[in-house]
Every structure is written in structure tokens, then in C-alpha cells.
């Protein structure tokens, strides 16, 4: 009897894995379609075969300077940055949401994005900085805020509840600082700061993508090792401890990974709203209990970012919206839907 | 399965500056069902958490096979000693089989290769708790009694000789309480496991315990076989309550009948 059951258990596990694979492949296909659209759409029409020719021009040597500029210097860096930053936001969101057991606990709600924003606004308005130095300032702001929240929440270990509450408090305080800085600023500085705050891929530079790609290469193996600890951590600290998990070490490691992802992504594209927030819940829903959905959340994040950016660029003819406006509109709708659904069933899945 | 030895020597436990358990010595009898009883806030759950290395002692130590448990690698302990804490959390949408499979964590390496042994352990744990039919169901959809059985199944899948449970019958109907205790007895009787459980219900404790430990204010007041230990005096010392002890008509174990303020006169008329 036990033998038959063991095969049943194994079959159920394989069914879950197969479902996860199907979700992953579906998301990859959607990403491919969106990526092709991103390469083809634009004010300057380039036929598909010319885009391909241009993409392979470094290998073939057949080049057309004007088209190559559009394809290799404008569209491709923007596409890559959208994919990388979206994946980073998606991952850091689901790490926080899983770790803190709360769908509201994404970095754009518990203050980390606000820390980056306040620092960036400070750099622009008070220090008069621009460009890369603003990104560095934002990065430092995100890290400092995360450390402050962690230290304030620490009381013989950190509890999810305290991190979320202190994070929301920090977010409110940092928003107040941003508002205060605006009252002291000149109009052109406010415009520059606002553009940064909304978050956009308009200024995508290859350097941003390279930094973000290196971040991912360093962080993903760490995440791969740490994520196993969540098997226990998801069941509560005592159960995790009982199963032989190093509770504080694993939690701290995962938080560092998530904060690094949030900080690097925010430094690159600004605090593009709601991508970190929506990716985890969407991935979970697609997975339907077939797994924790981390890789899928990264893919959802990349897809949300890329599609939002396409909408931002091409929805209104003649106007380029910042990407964050579109993700914000989409994310706010999603947040309302999540609240309605959770109100009905008493909990959020 | 080889029997492992768990004992506490000169154990002090507490939270922050508040000491809950002081200078406690206890040897858990191997291959037996030990029940810890006591009034609210007597330190019984704290003691269990200390024994399970979930709480570090401020003084003294807990020894697993003669080695201080807090100095052993936590993963190694997890292959010898399973714990079911008071309020475990089930992740959203997780299925029964998946949750039970989490018990295999200490047996798996970094690259988490699932082996046929893991599947067999999960299947056996589900069988022992009578949950096999519900293996594919989401845990959120189960009743309280079924959910408690899933958690016990998870602890069973860990395949440890020692199993510590903190009030596994709280929030359960009487039939489910009996079911859980029957299951724990099966583990001891037919598999030779060592089980330690904190219980609220004195009569069920007396019926199921091979060894009962009665605590008050962080100290052990009495321990031994329920029939030897559970006297009216001990019940009074531990719970500060007058009672009459009769024999349980089903199991011939002590059954505690509380007297209470309104029935004191009735007792006096009967005895007096």
C-alpha cells in the first residue's frame, strides 16, 4: 500500500513541476512576442528583416548607420533594460512578500523605494546633481532605508509585522521629506525630480543594463542557495528552526538580496511603481499552488515592465509617457482588485 | 529506529529578563509517551521549546545523546528530533502533500534532489495520519482537525526518533483530540518512537501518558506513571483546585473530577 502511495506522491509532484514548466514557457513566449514588438515598433519604421540584419551587423559587418543607431543604440538597450529591471523588481517584490507573509510588503510600499526617491530628490534639488550621480544617490538611499527599517524592527530577531509597520512609517516620513524638498526647489529642478520619481526607460543607457546584468549574475546564485531556507521559513520561525533552518541568517540573506535588487533596479530606471508589487501575486495565481513562483515572478515583472513601456511609448501618438505612469495606472487597478478579492474571501492568495 | 536520549540538567529558560523555568532536571524516558501538564503560564510550553532547542537556555543545558543540543548543528538535530510548535503557518494555496514534504527538508541537500525515499516518507506519514485521500487538496480548505493531522504528518515525514508537540489538541473537538492522541500512541507502541506532548486536558493526559510531568511556576512538582503521581494533593498543588480522583472506567487511569466552589457543601454532606 505504501508503495502505491509513494508513486502517487511522486506523480503529484511531477504534475506540479509540469504545471510550473508550462507557466514558465507561456511567460517566455509572451515575453518573446513583446520583445519582437519592442524591436519593431517606433516612430521610425524599420522592416523586420532590416531589424534582423542590424542585430547581426556586428557579426556580418553589413551595416546601415542610421538603422543600426535606431536598433542597436535606442531600441535594444531599452528592451534589455526593461527586461532586467522588470525581472529585478519582480524578484525583490516576491522575496519581500514571501518573507514577510504579506502581499502589501513590496519595496514600493514598505519604504525602500521611498528611500531611493528621497535621496534622488535630495541629490537633484539640494546638491544640483544629475545623471549617474543621482542613480548612485538613489542606490545609497535605498540601502540606508532598508538598514534603518531592519534595525528599528529588530527585537531579538525581526518579525514580519514590525518590518511592515515600520516600513510604512518610514515611507510616510520619506514622502514628507520629498514634499518638503519640493517646496524649496526651483521649477526646472522640480520637473527633473518629478521625471525621476515617476520612473522611466526613456533615458536607457547600455551602462545601466550592464550594471544590472552584473548584479543579477552575482545575486541569482545567492538567491538559489538561500531560497531553500524558505521551505522552513514559510511555516513560521519555530517550525523553520525545528526543521533545521538557520532562521535569522536565511532571513537576513534574503533581505539583503531583495534590497540589492530593489536598489540597483531603482537606481537604473527610477522607482517605477507597482512592478514589484504586482508580479508576485500574478505569478502565484498562475502557479496555483504548484510552487513558490520565484522564477515566474521575475518573468512576470519583465513582462509587465516591457508591455507597460510599449504602451507608454506608443499608446498616445506623438506623446511619450514615462513608463511609471502606465505601471502606476495598471498597479493601482490591480491593488483595488486585490483588496476586493481579499475582502470577499477573507485572505489574499 | 534507534532510541535517542533527551534530558535537561539545571535548565533555566526565560524571555528577556523574565525567568520562566528555573533549575529544572528532566530525563525523557525513551520509547514512551511523556505528557507535560500544568496550569496556564506554568512554563510547560517554554520547557518544550527549550527541549526542542527553539529557545536557548540562560543557564544549564539540554542534552541529546549526551551532547549539548544548542551546540549541535541544527540540521543534524532536525534529523533526530521533530517539533510541532504551537502555531505553525501554512503558506497560501499549498497542498497537503507539499506541506508534508517540507518535513523532508533536513534530509535533503542544497540542490534538493527528491528521492524515492522522500516520496515514501511522505506517503507513509500521510497513511499514518489517514490523510492519503486528501493529499492533493489545498491546506486552507481543510477542517481544523484535518489541518492538525497535516502538521503531525509533516513532523512524521521528518522521520525522527524523538517527537515534541506543543498542545496539538488545542482547538480540536473531543473526537479529534482522541484521534490525535491515539495516533501518537501508535507511534510509541508500534514504532518505538519517543513522544513528548504538552496537553491541557488532565484526564486525557492521565489516560494516554506513560510518563506524566506536572509543572508549576517553572518547576516540576511531580513526575512518573499517572496512577502513581496523580493524587488529589498533586492536583491541588499544581492547579490550586480541590478535586476528587476516581478511576477512569475505560482505561483504569486516574480521572480528575474538579469540585469547585458551588459543590463544596455537597461533598461535605456525602463524606461528612
Q: What is the pLDDT of residues A151-209, one digit of tens each?
A: 999 887 778 888 999 999 999 999 999 999 999 899 998 988 988 898 888 877 888 88
Measured distance CA(B22)–CA(B52) in Å, rounded: 17
A11 in reach of chain B (CB within 8 A): no
The pLDDT, as a whole number, for residue A177 is 96
- Best mutation target, A221, A243, A253, A284, to test chain B (most B CBs within 10 A): A243
* A37 part of a folded domain: yes
Question: Could you list the residue range(s) of the whole structural domain that residue A300 is in?
Answer: 3-341
Can you read off the three cell numbers belonging to residue B251?
482505561
Measured distance CA(B237)–CA(B243) in Å, rounded: 11
Share of chain A above pLDDT 90, in %: 49
User: Among partner residues B54, B103, B138, which is closest to A241 by beta-carbon distance?
Assistant: B54
The pLDDT, as a whole number, for residue B272 is 47
Q: Which CATH number goes with the domain that contains A164?
A: 1.10.3470.10
* A64 part of a folded domain: yes
Of B116 and B234, more confident: B234
- The total of structural domains in chain A comes to 1
pLDDT at residue A2 tops 60: no
Q: What is the pLDDT of residues B22-74, one digit of tens each?
A: 999 999 999 999 999 999 889 999 999 999 999 999 999 999 999 999 999 99
Strand order of the sheet with strand B219-224? B81-84, B162-166, B194-198, B33-38, B211-216, B219-224
Nearest-5° Cα angle at B8, B5 to B11: 165
* A288 part of a folded domain: yes
* A294 part of a folded domain: yes
* A16 part of a folded domain: yes
Provide ipTM, 2 decimals. Answer: 0.88
Residue recorded with cell 507535560: B36
User: Among partner residues A5, A235, A245, which is closest to B89 by beta-carbon distance?
Assistant: A235
Scanning B78-97 for CB atoms below 8 A from A yields 78-79, 82-95, 97
User: Among partner residues A2, A98, A289, which is closest to B127 by beta-carbon distance?
Assistant: A2
Task: Please report residues of B whose CB lies closer than 8 A to that of A6.
Answer: 116, 119-120, 122-123
pLDDT at residue A129 tops 50: yes
* A219 part of a folded domain: yes
Of B88 and A344, more confident: B88
Contact present, A22 and A286 (Cβ < 8 Å): no
The pLDDT, as a whole number, for residue A46 is 86
pTM of the model: 0.88
User: Among partner residues A101, A246, A288, which is closest to B89 by beta-carbon distance?
Assistant: A101
CA B13, chain centre distance (Å): 18
* A349 part of a folded domain: no
Could B97 and A238 be called an inter-chain contact, meaning their C-beta atoms sit closer than 8 Å?
Answer: no
CA A305, chain centre distance (Å): 8
Could A238 and B116 be called an inter-chain contact, meaning their C-beta atoms sit closer than 8 Å?
Answer: no
* A348 part of a folded domain: no
Please enumerate in sequence order all residues whose Cβ is within 8 A of that of A190, keeping only pairs 6 or more positions apart, or say none. A125, A182
Helix (H) or strand (E) holding B37: strand B33-38
Scanning B12-31 for CB atoms below 8 A from A yields 16
Amino acid at each position: 500500500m505504501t508503495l502505491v502511495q509513494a508513486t502517487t506522491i511522486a506523480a503529484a509532484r511531477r504534475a506540479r513541476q509540469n504545471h510550473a514548466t508550462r507557466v514558465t514557457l507561456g511567460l517566455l513566449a509572451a515575453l518573446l512576442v513583446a520583445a519582437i514588438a519592442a524591436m519593431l515598433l517606433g516612430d521610425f519604421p524599420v522592416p523586420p528583416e532590416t531589424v534582423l540584419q542590424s542585430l547581426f551587423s556586428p557579426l556580418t559587418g553589413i551595416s546601415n548607420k542610421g538603422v543600426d543607431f535606431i536598433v542597436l543604440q535606442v531600441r535594444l538597450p531599452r528592451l534589455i533594460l526593461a527586461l532586467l529591471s522588470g525581472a529585478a523588481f519582480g524578484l525583490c517584490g516576491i522575496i519581500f512578500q514571501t518573507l514577510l507573509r504579506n502581499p502589501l510588503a513590496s519595496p514600493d510600499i514598505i519604504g525602500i523605494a521611498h528611500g531611493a526617491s528621497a535621496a534622488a530628490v535630495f541629490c537633484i534639488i539640494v546638491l544640483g546633481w544629475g545623471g549617474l550621480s543621482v542613480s548612485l544617490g538613489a542606490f545609497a538611499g535605498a540601502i540606508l532605508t532598508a538598514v534603518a527599517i531592519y534595525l528599528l524592527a529588530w527585537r531579538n530577531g525581526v518579525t514580519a509585522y514590525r518590518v511592515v509597520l515600520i516600513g510604512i512609517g518610514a515611507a510616510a516620513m520619506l514622502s514628507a521629506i520629498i514634499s518638503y524638498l519640493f517646496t524649496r526647489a526651483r521649477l526646472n529642478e522640480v520637473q527633473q525630480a518629478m521625471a525621476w520619481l515617476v520612473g522611466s526607460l526613456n533615458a536607457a543607457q547600455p551602462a545601466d543594463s550592464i550594471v544590472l546584468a552584473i548584479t543579477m549574475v552575482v545575486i541569482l546564485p545567492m538567491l538559489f542557495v538561500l531560497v531553500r531556507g524558505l521551505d522552513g521559513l514559510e511555516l513560521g520561525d519555530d517550525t523553520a528552526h525545528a526543521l533545521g533552518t538557520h532562521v535569522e541568517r536565511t532571513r537576513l540573506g534574503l533581505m539583503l538580496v531583495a534590497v540589492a535588487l530593489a536598489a540597483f533596479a531603482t537606481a537604473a530606471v527610477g522607482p517605477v511603481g507597482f512592478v514589484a508589487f504586482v508580479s508576485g501575486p500574478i505569478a502565484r495565481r498562475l502557479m496555483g499552488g504548484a510552487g513558490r513562483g520565484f522564477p515566474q515572478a521575475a518573468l512576470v515583472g519583465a513582462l509587465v515592465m516591457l508591455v507597460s513601456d510599449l504602451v507608454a511609448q506608443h499608446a498616445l501618438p506623438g506623446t511619450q509617457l514615462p513608463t511609471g505612469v502606465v505601471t502606476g495606472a495598471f498597479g493601482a487597478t490591480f491593488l483595488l482588485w486585490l483588496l476586493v478579492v481579499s475582502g470577499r474571501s477573507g485572505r489574499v492568495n | 529506529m534507534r532510541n535517542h536520549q533527551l534530558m535537561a540538567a539545571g535548565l533555566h529558560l526565560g524571555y528577556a529578563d523574565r525567568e520562566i523555568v528555573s533549575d529544572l532536571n528532566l530525563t525523557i524516558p525513551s520509547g514512551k509517551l511523556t505528557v507535560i501538564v500544568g496550569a496556564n503560564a506554568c512554563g510547560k510550553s517554554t520547557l518544550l521549546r527549550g527541549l526542542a532547542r527553539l529557545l536557548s537556555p540562560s543557564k544549564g543545558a539540554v542534552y541529546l545523546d549526551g551532547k549539548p543540543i544548542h551546540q549541535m548543528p541544527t540540521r543534524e538535530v532536525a534529523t533526530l528530533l521533530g517539533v510541532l510548535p504551537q502555531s505553525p503557518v501554512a503558506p497560501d494555496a499549498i497542498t497537503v502533500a507539499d506541506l508534508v514534504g517540507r518535513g523532508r527538508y533536513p534530509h535533503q541537500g542544497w540542490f534538493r534532489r527528491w528521492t524515492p525515499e522522500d516520496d515514501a516518507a511522505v506517503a507513509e506519514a500521510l497513511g499514518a495520519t489517514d490523510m492519503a485521500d486528501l493529499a492533493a487538496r489545498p491546506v486552507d480548505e481543510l477542517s481544523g482537525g484535518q489541518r492538525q493531522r497535516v502538521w503531525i504528518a509533516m513532523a512524521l515525514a521528518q522521520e525522527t526518533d524523538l517527537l515534541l508537540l506543543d498542545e496539538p489538541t488545542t482547538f480540536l473537538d473531543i473526537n479529534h483530540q482522541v484521534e490525535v492522541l491515539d495516533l501518537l500512541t501508535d507511534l510509541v507502541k508500534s514504532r518505538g518512537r519517543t513522544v513528548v506532548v504538552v496537553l491541557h486536558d488532565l484526564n486525557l493526559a492521565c489516560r494516554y501518558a506513560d510518563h506524566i510531568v506536572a509543572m508549576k511556576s517553572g518547576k516540576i512538582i511531580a513526575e512518573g506513571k499517572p496512577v502513581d503521581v496523580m493524587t488529589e494533593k498533586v492536583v491541588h498543588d499544581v492547579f490550586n483546585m480541590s478535586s476528587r480522583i476516581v478511576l477512569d472506567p475505560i482505561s483504569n487511569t486516574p480521572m480528575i473530577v474538579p469540585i469547585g466552589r458551588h459543590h463544596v457543601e455537597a461533598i461535605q454532606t456525602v463524606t461528612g
